[in-house]
Amino acid sequence: MSRFPRYLLYLVLFGALFSTSAQHPDILWTRRYGEQNNSYCRSVLTTDDSGFFLIGATEPMGSYLDLWLLKVDQYGLLEWDTVFGGNECDFGADAKRTLDGGLIITGWTESESTAGESHLWLLKLDSMGCQEWSMICDSAYSMGFSVQQTSDSGYVATGYMYNSSWDPDLYIVKTDGSGETEWEQSYGGDDTDIAWSIQQTSDGGFIITGYTFVGENDCDLWLIRTDNLGNIEWEKTYGDSLEEVGYSVCQTSDGGFITVGYSLSYATGADVFLLKTDDSGGVEWTASFGGSDWDRGDDVIQTMDGGYVLTGSTMSYGSTVQCLVIKTYATGDLEWECSIGDADHDEYGYSILQLSDGGFIVGGDERSLSTGVYNMLLVRLEPPSGACGENPLIPESIVLSSISPNPCCHNADIEFSLPVTACTNISVHDITGRRVRIIYQGVIPAGENHIVSWDGCDDTGFKVVSGVYFIRLESNDLAVTSKLVLLR
């Protein structure tokens, strides 16, 4: 019999500024979307024009949920929106920007099933929200919670699928660039095993977090590292006598991993649980945050100063649920903390990004206590004191500074700068747009004067012919391209 941790589905599907420190950033603006319709935000992304995409779901009056994509400007003002779905529930749980400027979204659809079962869903859109293709997992009662484009221009998604014993197993599906399945993997035992987050690692494999049940009323945070085909290289669990769950994981600039979720084992309620490991899953440190009630973290990223910022929700600072933002130093020690909300609403944070000016954008939900209606929530926090705008070594955006020599005969050095510590891809494309070489993929710290080299060869090691090529730098959902002439 499968079991989900208590209050898990409630916060995942539905989900005044207070601070413990004087150094917290102020709110620049707050926006809400959905009006009288129940609407939920699970992912926020930056756009090429400094605006934002919001991805989640909306529920038109008297209808079922539809996957909902919104494009807003840099001030959060709506520019356009579009929905995808049918006559059953369809939900967008996660999204990422793609190399071509579009989006890849995962979630689940019930509209494509004759019996109304959920199926993991991959949806590829262009930058204007037009559908390019859709892939629906064959396995009934499956859901996708996390997605990423991979270094081979394909896609990987994770979540869960029910096994033959009707227990959820952790599920990974890898597709090519057109959404055709290349491989699938599932892991689990005799109880509930679910993945909430996946990221490709610098070696081409994957890191996954979620939870697995290890005993009666006891699930542990689960961290799995796989190779590029989804085969497990190592897996570890973290927890004590009660519930520990991981919701978000990313590789850090030192090659290790940072994971956030919640723990019930060390507090009277639930505390935010932050876990830092090395590249083999060995614990380097843990940190917990919260008060006397329920607190959890849903998304975590490494910041441009080498520390970490997370968002989630808290019930410890008043009579309502409040959106929680916590900034830590690289050691996991608290730098500042703030909760966002008021007495008339419950507010939840599910997605956070650091922007090129050092500030933050948070996406989540807001529930009216008077009507019970959920709306999408978007909060813009100003740059903290000492952010990149005050540091001359941190640029305001990604910069492809130079390619030298250009033209070149053999080798070319590519110099670039990053505003935020982030997973970064540097690739070479021919004049038709076809990628011929991945020069680098991995986490690179914020700063100036990073240099990588291209030896004039493709991914197979063969020398490419003379001609015009394009160097593409992608980091933190932004991309720049520069021309290189190769003369043999």
Q: What CATH number does residue 474 fall under?
A: 2.60.40.4070
Q: Are residues 328 and 421 both part of a single domain?
A: no
Q: Are residues 450 and 349 both part of a single domain?
A: no
Domain count, the chain: 2
Do the domain assignments include residue 394?
no
Distance of CA 205 to the CA centre of its chain: 17
Cα atoms found within 13 Å of the Cα of residue 198, Cβ hemisphere only: 34
> Residue 244 maps to which CATH number?
2.120.10.30
| Radius of gyration of the CA atoms of the chain, in A | 22
Residue 355, class by beta-carbon neighbours within 10 Å (0-12 exposed, 13-18 middle, 19+ buried)?
buried
In this predicted structure, what is the pLDDT of residue 393? 55
Residue 239: count of CB within 10 angstroms of its CB = 23
Which of 332, 363, 386 is a domain's end point? 386
In this predicted structure, what is the pLDDT of residue 444? 81
Residue position matching structure tokens 């293709």: 133
Assign 262 to helix, strand or coil. strand
Alpha carbon distances (Å) from 260 to 79, 161, 287, 312, 350: 33, 23, 10, 9, 12
Q: Are residues 47 and 176 both part of a single domain?
A: yes
Q: Which residues 6+ apart lie within 8 Å of 260 measured at CB?
A: 246, 247, 248, 272, 273, 274, 275, 297, 298, 299, 300, 310, 312
Q: Are residues 176 and 225 both part of a single domain?
A: yes
Do the domain assignments include residue 1?
no
Alpha carbon distances (Å) from 213 to 168, 191, 206, 207, 222: 11, 6, 22, 19, 9
Q: Are residues 367 and 407 both part of a single domain?
A: no
Do the domain assignments include residue 2?
no
Based on DSSP, count helices (H) and strands (E) in the chain, helices before strands.
1, 36
In this predicted structure, what is the pLDDT of residue 387? 52
Do the domain assignments include residue 60?
yes
Do the domain assignments include residue 3?
no
Do the domain assignments include residue 392?
no
Tens-of-pLDDT digits for all 488 residues of the chain? 444 443 343 334 433 444 445 478 899 999 999 988 899 999 999 998 989 999 999 998 768 899 999 999 999 999 999 999 988 999 999 999 998 889 999 999 999 877 778 999 999 999 999 999 999 998 888 999 999 999 888 999 999 998 877 889 999 999 999 999 999 999 987 788 999 999 999 889 999 999 998 877 788 999 999 999 999 999 999 988 788 999 999 999 899 999 999 998 776 678 999 999 999 999 999 999 988 888 999 999 999 889 999 999 999 888 899 999 999 999 999 999 999 999 999 999 999 999 988 899 999 999 999 999 999 999 999 987 655 444 555 677 788 989 999 999 888 999 998 887 777 889 999 988 888 999 988 778 777 778 899 999 998 889 999 999 999 998 877 788 999 999 98
Q: Which residues 6+ apart lie within 8 Å of 310 measured at CB?
A: 248, 260, 272, 274, 297, 298, 299, 300, 301, 324, 325, 326, 328, 352
Do the domain assignments include residue 235?
yes
Q: Are residues 265 and 291 both part of a single domain?
A: yes
Q: Are residues 268 and 330 both part of a single domain?
A: yes
In this predicted structure, what is the pLDDT of residue 62? 67
In this predicted structure, what is the pLDDT of residue 397? 77
Backbone angles phi, psi at 26, to 5 degrees: -80, 160
Q: Are residues 208 and 231 both part of a single domain?
A: yes
Domain containing 437: what range? 399-486
Q: Are residues 423 and 374 both part of a single domain?
A: no
Tens digits of residue pLDDT in 269-309 = 789 999 999 999 999 999 999 888 889 999 999 998 899 99
β-sheet bridge partners, residue 367: 346, 374
Q: Are residues 415 and 304 both part of a single domain?
A: no
In this predicted structure, what is the pLDDT of residue 67? 96
In this predicted structure, what is the pLDDT of residue 449? 79
Do the domain assignments include residue 367?
yes
In this predicted structure, what is the pLDDT of residue 394? 64
Round to whole Å and give the CA distance between 380 and 29. Answer: 5
Which of 386, 417, 448 is a domain's end point? 386
Q: Are residues 298 and 428 both part of a single domain?
A: no
Q: Are residues 130 and 213 both part of a single domain?
A: yes
Residue position matching structure tokens 């994981």: 249
Nearest-CA neighbor of 259 among 182, 312, 214, 324? 312
In this predicted structure, what is the pLDDT of residue 18? 40
Alpha carbon distances (Å) from 287 to 259, 262, 324, 327: 11, 11, 16, 12
- Residue pair 147/154 in contact (Cβ under 8 Å)? The answer is no
In this predicted structure, what is the pLDDT of residue 20? 44
Strand bridging mode 119-125 / 131-136: antiparallel
pTM, two decimal places: 0.81
Assign 23 to helix, strand or coil. coil
